[in-house]
Amino acid sequence: MAETKKLENRRQFIIVTGLSGAGKSSVLHAFGDLGFQAIDNLPLNMVETLVDDQADKPDAAPIAVGIDSRTLYFSPDLFVETQERLRKRADIQLHVLFIDASDDALMKRFSETRRPHPLGADRLLRSAIKQEREMMASVRENIDGILDTSSRTGSETRRIIRRRFATENAKLIVTCMSFGFAHGAPRDADIVLDVRFLRNPHYVAELRPLTGREKVVANYVRADIAFEPFLQKVTDLLSFLLPKYHAEGKSYLTVAFGCTGGQHRSVATAEAVVREIAIDGLAVNLYHRELSEHD
């Protein structure tokens, strides 16, 4: 019991890393909004010094630091070695969050802002992005979570961070997402389930302009003979998997449900799954990617 209490009292220490232009600044701002001490571009050789300095301050705020390829003394090998040592400490709970985006999204952002890429002094932008992605490959192999911002604005990214990390003492934070395959599968989902086998409200004239959040559409989807067995199997699967993910130290999990356009079947299914999940201490979020307003 004493050991369990000790683990619960460990200070959160978040390392935000990833690709230049992917949105790490927005993520750090979100952590600042949550009361974290948010420090960007901390020299890699000062990370453990910072942890040591905070060790005798039990009332100090949790910490989020930004570390990436532009960081002083950065190297992938040193990054991996540092995070391995941090994971062995008994006074912090480390979470390494990797912020990613597609090459095309990164190209567009650098072109719009006219900011130079940290590695682009003597090469083309796409070549610099490729080099950084290769440099960060070993870092990405040792992360706890990934957030892909390719199709998200800065405000959406900050909202996701606030939802994922604001819940105190949650065993595991689960996000049920709906999306449309026509707009691409989500790159940061942990589990993707295709619900295009369900009958499609798009072909019913009075239902087409509505969404799966509205009762008449949800009832239409649920009336499909395959819906209830599917819902039961999904909830059984999650009831089995989630405790195991938690036991492995996973902090959050994204389960994505996809249909063609992301308006009807996937939305109704995600809403139904959220209502069905019932595991003690579980925090569940809902995110409809293709709708103009996100829950």
Residue 271 pLDDT > 60: yes
How far apart CA 229 and CA 243 sit, in angstroms, is 22
Edge-to-edge order in the sheet of strand 191-194: 191-194, 252-259, 172-180, 282-288
Q: Does domain 2-165 have CATH number 3.30.530.20?
A: no
Give the domain ranges of the chain. 2-165, 172-288
Which range has the worst mean pLDDT, 126-130, 217-221, 223-227?
126-130
Percent of the chain with pLDDT over 90: 41
Question: pTM value?
Answer: 0.61
How far apart CA 208 and CA 30 sit, in angstroms, is 36
pLDDT by residue (tens digit) across 235-248? 999 989 888 887 66
Q: What is the pLDDT confidence band of residue 281, given thresholds at 50, 70 and 90?
A: low
How far apart CA 124 and CA 126 sit, in angstroms, is 6
Residue 208 pLDDT > 80: yes
Instruction: Identify whether the C-beta of residue 279 lies closer than 8 Å to the C-beta of residue 242.
Output: yes
pLDDT by residue (tens digit) across 38-85? 999 888 889 988 888 877 777 778 899 999 888 888 888 999 999 999
- Residue 68: predicted pLDDT: 87
CA distances from 158 to 33, 39, 153 (A): 9, 16, 9
Instruction: Identify whether the C-beta of residue 184 lies closer than 8 Å to the C-beta of residue 248.
Output: no
- Residue 1: predicted pLDDT: 34
